Amino acid sequence: MDLDQNRVPMSALPDYADPDYFDHGAINKQTSFHRSSPRHSTSHIGSAKSPNNYIFGDIIGDGSYSEVKRATDKRSWKEFAIKVLDKRYIVKENKIKYVNIERDSMMRLNGFPGIARLFHTFQDDLKLYYVLEYAPNGELLQYIKKYRFLNEASVQFYAAEILSSIEFMHSCGIIHRDLKPENILFDHNMHVKITDFGTAKILPPKYANSPESTMFSSSFVGTAEYVAPELLSKQVVSKSSDVWAFACVVFQMITGSPPFHGRDPGVIFRKIMNLEYDLPKHMPIEMVPLFTSIFRLQTFERPSIQELKQFSFFTDISWKDLFFQSPPPLQSFRPNYRHIPVNPLPPTYRSNMTAAAAASAAAAHASASIVRHQPKSVSDQKIKNRKSTSPPAHYGQATLRNNQPSMDLLYSKLFPSNESVLVSSSVLLSLTAPLPEGGKFPSGITKMFLKKKSRVMLLTNMGRCVFVTKGKNDRVLIDAEVSLYDPSVEVRFDDNKSKRFLLNLQTEAWIIEDTSEHVSRLREVISKFKKSDRPSLDPSSHED
């Protein structure tokens, strides 16, 4: 890998290392919004720091254009989470705007206990670094996966913490736009820390106190399952779009799945626009109005956060000192089926919309069924549960270091000795439903909402197509793999975008976008495999 390829002119990005940028810019903005939270007031942000001030540890998360690493400050021995962003990728993919938004919005919000703090930012030639408050207890998603249905006391408490954090964001003129269980983390004391403001919308100051239903134009950002209908139908967003996502998250905490789900974004969007969701029988009755009042197509029909706080579901909550209370232990919910009568809706929330919801509540009551995602295919599991996946025992384990002379040599250690890597390339990988015959590659909104993960794609002489990523201690892990000799694996190249192709499997499709100029080689090797009956290809026949 040629590291020089990654160099980006310093002038392409603002000077994050300049302490004045922070001291006189955003902190002034922040104080004007932030009068009411003295207890958590921000200390100095942005004093000149560099990667040398930290000892970097494991990767604790990755996103589409960043990696988050655990790091220890060499002087204070405090632990942080450092988000490392690749400048070359940011510039190439035109993401500079989002990088700035993340920094600016986090600085505005610094000091509120439910939001991860940003302490410093700095850069070197290749990367940008965001030093964040470390949330060691992981993502809400992992607890939902572990317990499937969370206990009512936890759902109530965490719903309250999330709601008050959203309320604070909104009072600072920030709409998050991507609230979901992956972006809700837990600190040492199991209090929430909301993160990932890369796609936030920063409102002009005069709109900080505007009503929740006020709409603003918006690009298509967010995650399909949590996106509000106004974004899909009108390309607008409002503070109440965050409230919609909040309801989706709470729903997922109690039922194990988001209310609107499906195998590809198109299906999910159709359900959202039709308000097509089911209330499972075990849903506590006090929660029902939360969903039926928030899942409305019109933003003005949804309750404000102030109104939501009065809902009976939150009766036991003491809002003032939430973040100083001891959270109830997270446990599995044991349904007692005392719930959901046929028409559970308080009169104030009855309308055409709620009639549909009441009907689905009644149907759920009658069938006692619980809405669940389709069982995930093996490959899907592998991709989503990357952290627990290691290469099969007979594979070697390789350590990924950027200065290693031959990455391919390193990757070859993942395979038995008679198998060699013919081509490796950095790609963006996304999963979607299988493409029907004659079906078009996802485009428009559907394409925008496909979740992309950076991976290295390897093709071996045995026809194996493997996606690898970095795991703990910089080990290379196989994330997903498929044999190109498998006749059920169909390859399609995108006629409109030469860098894009798709592996159509029986239960899902993997869309692959080459990001390192190796696409012609990938196409050549894949095509040969799909035409060939041979059990392996001679590596020499594929030399450039």
Ligand X SMILES: Nc1ncnc2c1ncn2[C@@H]1O[C@H](COP(=O)(O)OP(=O)(O)OP(=O)(O)O)[C@@H](O)[C@H]1O
Q: What are phi and psi of 275, to 5 degrees?
A: 50, 50
Dist. CA 326–CA 103, nearest whole Å = 30
Q: Following DSSP, what letter does each residue of 440-482 receive, concatenated?
A: PPP-HHHHHTSPPEEEEEEEETTSEEEEEEE-GGGBEEEEEEE
Binding segment for ligand X (CB under 6 A), chosen from 130-138, 163-171, 306-314, 466-474, is 130-138
Q: Per CB under 6 A, which of residues 412..431 are in contact with ligand X?
A: none
> Of residues 493-532, which lie at the interface with ligand X (CB under 6 A)?
none
- Residue 185 interacts with ligand X (CB under 6 A): yes or no: yes
Q: Total binding residues for ligand X by CB under 6 A?
A: 21
Shortest reach from residue 210's CB to ligand X, in Å:
26
Query: Of the two residues 123 and 195, which places its CB atom closer to ligand X in the complex?
Result: 195
Is residue 258 a contact residue for ligand X (CB under 6 A)?
no
Which range of residues in 128-136, 261-269, 321-329, 428-436 is near ligand X by CB under 6 A? Answer: 128-136
Q: Report in angstroms how near the CB of residue 368 gets to ligand X at its nearest.
A: 34
Contacts of 389-392 spanning 24+ positions with Cβ under 8 A: 389/471, 389/477, 389/478, 389/479, 390/471, 390/475, 390/477, 391/476, 391/477, 391/478, 392/478
Options 110, 151, 195, 218; binder of ligand X; rule CB under 6 A: 195
Crossing angle of helices 140-147 and 239-255, rounded to 10° = 30
Nearer to ligand X, 285 or 445 (CB): 445
The beta-strand segments (E) located in 301-346 are none
Nearest in space to 489 (alpha carbons), one of 518, 475, 510, 470 = 510
Question: Is residue 115 at the binding interface for ligand X, with CB under 6 A as the rule?
Answer: no
Would residue 115 be called left, alpha or beta, if left means φ above 0 and alpha means ψ between -120 and 50 degrees? beta
Task: Find the binder of ligand X among 104, 167, 196, 514 (CB under 6 A).
Answer: 196
Smallest gap from Cβ 405 to ligand X, in A, equals 29
Residue 78: CB minimum distance to ligand X, A: 13
225 interacts with ligand X by CB under 6 A: no
Nearest distance from residue 265's CB to ligand X, in Å?
15
- Helix (H/G/I), strand (E/B), else coil: 128: strand
Residue 139 lies near ligand X (rule: CB under 6 A):
yes
Catalytic position from the list 62, 178, 278, 479: 178
In the region spanning residues 41 to 70, those forming contacts with ligand X, defined by CB under 6 A, are 60-61, 63-66, 68
Cβ–Cβ under 8 Å, residues 413 and 398: yes
Active site residue 178: yes
| Minimum distance of ligand X from residue 455's CB (angstroms) | 13
Binding residues among 438-477 for ligand X as defined by CB under 6 A: none
DSSP 69: E
Q: Are strands 453-460 and 54-62 parallel, antiparallel or unpaired?
A: unpaired
CA-CA distance, 488 to 470, in Å (whole number)?
Answer: 29
Q: Which of 81, 322, 410, 478 binds ligand X (CB under 6 A)?
A: 81
Taking the complex as a whole, the smallest distance from the CB of residue 102 to ligand X amounts, in Å, to 7
CB nearer to ligand X: give 180 or 239: 180
Closer of 182 and 490 to ligand X (Cβ): 182
Angle at 480 between CA 3 and CA 392, to 5 degrees: 100
Minimum Å gap between C-beta 226 and ligand X is 12
Q: Does 171 bind ligand X (CB under 6 A)?
A: no
Q: According to the binding rule CB under 6 A, does residue 89 interact with ligand X?
A: no
- Any contact of residue 137 with ligand X (CB under 6 A)? no
Distance, in Å, from the CA atom of 466 to the CA atom of 541, rounded to the nearest integer, reads 20
Question: If DSSP codes are grouped into helix, strand and coil, which group holds residue 67?
Answer: strand
**Considering only 30-38, 127-135, 160-168, 467-475, which stretch makes contact with ligand X by CB under 6 A?**
127-135
Tokens linked to 386: 């990357």
Annotated binding residue 271: no
Residue 184, number of CB atoms within 10 A of its CB? 24
Among 122, 134, 246, 441, binds ligand X (CB under 6 A): 134
Residue 334 sits at φ, ψ, to 5 deg, of -110, 105
Q: Which of 468, 462, 519, 515 is nearest to 491 (CA)?
A: 519
**Nearer Cβ to ligand X, position 165 or 195?**
195
Which of 46, 173, 181, 198 contacts ligand X by CB under 6 A?
Answer: 198
Amino acid at 188: H
- Residues acting as catalytic residues: 178
Q: Which residues bind ligand X (CB under 6 A)?
A: 60-61, 63-66, 68, 81, 83, 116, 132-135, 139, 182-183, 185, 195-196, 198
Q: State the binding site for ATP.
A: 92
